[in-house]
Amino acid sequence: MISRTTNQTMARTAQQNLQASMSRMAKLQEQVASSAAIARPSDDPAGTANALKVRSEIRANVQYTSNVSDAEGWLTVTDNALTNTTDILRRVKDLTLNAANGTLSPTDRKAIATELSGLKTNLLREANTTHLGRTVFAGTSDTGKAFSEADGAYAYSGSGTPTTRRLDSGTQMRVDTDGEAVFGKGDNSVFRMMDNLVADLEANNDVSGYLPKVDAAANTVLMEHSALGVRHAATLNAKDNLAEKSISLETRRSGIEDLDTAKVILDMKLQEVAYQSALAVTAKALQPTLMDFLR
């Protein structure tokens, strides 16, 4: 059956075409105004899903970057503390070598003992180094001090549970250092060894036997410092990788969500021309007559 084309049919079809053209132009204008390729999920369902996935990866990357920054802070503070500890023990060895000289006067030995007592205090301060209110040598302990000098016990308050930070989806990095492994504790601590050294100096006893003990303490610090260096290098490497990934993710996000403004403006101008042409053609084709009003 052949349908009959009437003025009403032509007018309805022309109106539908004009509305569709206007809708396309409005969408392009909205994109230009928002500078976003996807204003709502219905604009591009597949693109929306990809955008959500990329944004999720970006959020995770931001969190990992924050974790790395925190880990770097812990490791840097610990590195400085271990460097200072090594310097202190180096000075302790020099003083012990001088004190082992049998020709020193009691006054000289007293002066050395006084300096060693001050170095012990400095060493204890390094052992209780904190970062953001947390002791870097006591694991997850929140006591505020890794070692207590009360009654000369030099008790270690470390929790035994290391403090870690997740650097990426598969890597957890230890950011603290075991204070007991570095300084010992109680009677086996480097602090007690220095107390005994000072006491023997003041009692005018031979202190040459302390030289191997000081060397052993320094070697222990050196080994722990080397292990820290490995972790610090790995953390810095993770930082670089996260920075590169951040750029890659932002490029992917931009490719999905950001608008090619020049192209869309050109499309909008072309659509405006097409709409104006359609209006002109429709006006010519559907000119009303007296009979149209009489009907």
Give the model confidence (pLDDT) of 198-217 as tens digits. 999 999 899 999 999 999 99
Distances in Å between the alpha carbon of 116 and those of 86, 89, 105, 113, 212? 14, 10, 17, 5, 17
Q: Are residues 135 and 159 in the same domain?
A: yes
- Structure-token pair, residue 241: 């990788």
**Is residue 292 located within the same domain as residue 215?**
no
> Does one domain contain both 129 and 273?
no
Q: pLDDT-derived band of residue 1, with 50, 70 and 90 as boundaries?
A: very low
CATH number where 179 lies: 1.20.1330.10
Domain of 164 in residue numbering reads as 52-253
Question: Going by C-beta distance under 8 Å and a sequence separation of 6 or more, which residues neighbour residue 148?
Answer: 154, 155, 157
CA pair distance 115, 117, nearest whole angstrom? 5
Cα dist from 11 to 132, 280, 288, 292, whole Å: 75, 14, 11, 12
Do 149 and 287 lie in a common domain? no
Mind listing the pLDDT tens digit for each residue in 70-123?
Answer: 999 999 999 999 999 999 999 999 999 999 887 788 889 999 999 999 999 999
- Please give the pLDDT value at position 285: 59
> Other C-beta atoms within 10 Å of 10: how many?
13
Confidence band, pLDDT 50/70/90 cuts, at residue 27: low
In a domain, 25, yes or no: no
Residues 270, 152 share a domain: no
pLDDT: which is higher, 270 or 35: 270
Instruction: Please tell me the predicted confidence (pLDDT) of residue 270.
Output: 67
| Shared domain check, 249 and 121 | yes
Instruction: State how many domains the chain has.
Output: 2
Q: Are residues 216 and 292 in the same domain?
A: no
Angstrom distances, CA of residue 241 to CA of 167, 175, 237, 248: 10, 19, 6, 11
Does residue 6 lie in a domain region?
no
For residue 15, being part of any structural domain is answered with no
Does a structural domain hold residue 249?
Answer: yes
Q: Is residue 171 part of a domain?
A: yes
Q: What is the CA radius of gyration of the chain?
A: 39
The label of the residue with tokens 């009907």 reads: 295
Same domain, 65 and 117: yes
Check whether residue 223 and residue 80 sit in a common domain: yes
138 within some domain:
yes
Rounded average pLDDT over 253-272: 65
290 plus 161 within the same structural domain: no
Could you tell me if 285 and 220 lie in one domain? Answer: no
Do 87 and 222 lie in one domain? The reply is: yes
Residue ranges of the alpha helices (H) in the chain?
7-34, 45-99, 106-127, 179-183, 190-202, 210-257, 261-285, 290-294
Compute the half-sphere exposure of residue 137: CA atoms within 13 Å on the CB side of its CA: 30
Residue 4 lies inside a defined structural domain of this protein: no
Q: pTM for this one? A: 0.76
> Cα 284 from chain centroid?
67
Computed from CA positions of residues 229, 232, 238, 242, in that sequence, does the dihedral angle turn out positive or negative?
A: negative
How many other β-carbons are positioned within 10 Å of the β-carbon of residue 176? 25
Mean pLDDT, to the nearest integer, of 220-236? 96
In a domain, 117, yes or no: yes
